[in-house]
């Protein structure tokens, strides 16, 4: 299992000057990159969200919204559990399901913004659909299309991130880490930014025309983000490949 760390690139994503809207799912180019780097696919993650119109959304509507989304994704009430949270700063309803192969998280929330933040109102609303599928990720394309359609109906425009996790047994030396990353980028004809090394983590970003979606950061287009990490507990090296960037912890 990967040790969870908050990636720096989540911050870059939130601060990006432009975020393009959802486009055809990029899972196949990511699979090509992972395979070329010599990693075995462990799981595929789809993270989709949109901002809700808080003028017409109330706290009481969060749970019905989540149940409606679950139904449109083909889930029945007996397949998921409901979690709710209500505080002075946040109202949230969430449905979770895990059958061992696929894990869904569907969440609708209202967040009170700090008084110092310029906004259209005191609250900001979001709808999130998160799917993690083990190994081959054969249903990701289908659920990507469903998520885009659902979020277009509810919000201002869907934002989609896809992330693949692969692994190989053993630990690589530093030169091997860089070599594997370069092979992954080359597999999809991507430009590559300088690689950032830490003790057990390496990461970098780049851009490929094989994927339509991208973010703008410091005047540059980015739609490919790769990170690698070694787990001493499992004696495995993990590679995460995300597009436009990695938005999950690792």
pLDDT tens digits for 179-192?
Answer: 999 999 999 999 99
Angle in degrees, 0-180, between the axes of helices 140-154 and 27-36, rounded to the nearest 10: 140
pLDDT value for 3: 38
* Overall average pLDDT of the 12-19 stretch: 43
Residue with more model confidence, 119 or 221? 221
How many other β-carbons are positioned within 10 Å of the β-carbon of residue 207? 20
Residue 157 Ramachandran class (φ > 0 left, ψ -120 to 50 alpha, else beta): left
pLDDT tens digits for 212-222?
Answer: 989 998 889 99
CA nearest to 12, candidates 220, 229, 227: 220
pTM: 0.84
DSSP 8-state class, residue 158 = -
Q: What percent of the chain has pLDDT over 70?
A: 86
Q: Could you check whether the bond before residue 212 is cis, i.e. omega within 30 degrees of 0?
A: no
Looking at domain 8-243, its CATH class is alpha beta
């Amino acid at each position: 299992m990967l040790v969870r760390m908050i990636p720096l690139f989540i911050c870059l994503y939130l601060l990006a000057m432009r975020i393009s809207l959802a486009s055809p799912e990029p899972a196949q180019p990511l699979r090509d990159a992972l395979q070329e780097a010599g990693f075995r696919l462990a799981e595929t993650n789809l993270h989709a969200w949109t901002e809700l119109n808080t003028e017409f959304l109330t706290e009481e509507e969060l749970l019905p919204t989540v149940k409606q989304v679950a139904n449109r994704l083909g889930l029945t009430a007996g397949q998921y559990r409901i979690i709710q949270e209500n505080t002075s700063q946040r109202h949230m309803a969430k449905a979770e399901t895990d059958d061992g192969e696929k894990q869904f998280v569907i969440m609708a929330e209202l967040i009170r913004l700090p008084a110092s933040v310029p906004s259209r109102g005191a609250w900001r609303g979001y709808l999130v659909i998160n799917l993690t599928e083990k190994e081959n990720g054969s249903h990701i394309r289908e659920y990507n299309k469903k998520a885009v359609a659902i979020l277009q109906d509810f919000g201002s425009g869907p934002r989609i991130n896809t992330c693949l996790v692969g692994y190989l047994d053993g630990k690589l030396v530093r030169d091997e880490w860089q070599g594997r990353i370069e092979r992954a980028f080359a597999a999809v004809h991507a430009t590559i930014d300088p690689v950032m090394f830490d003790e057990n983590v390496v990461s970098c970003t780049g851009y490929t025309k094989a994927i339509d979606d991208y973010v703008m950061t410091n005047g540059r287009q980015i739609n490919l983000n790769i990170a690698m990490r070694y787990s001493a507990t499992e004696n495995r090296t993990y590679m995460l490949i995300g597009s436009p960037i990695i938005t999950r912890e690792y």
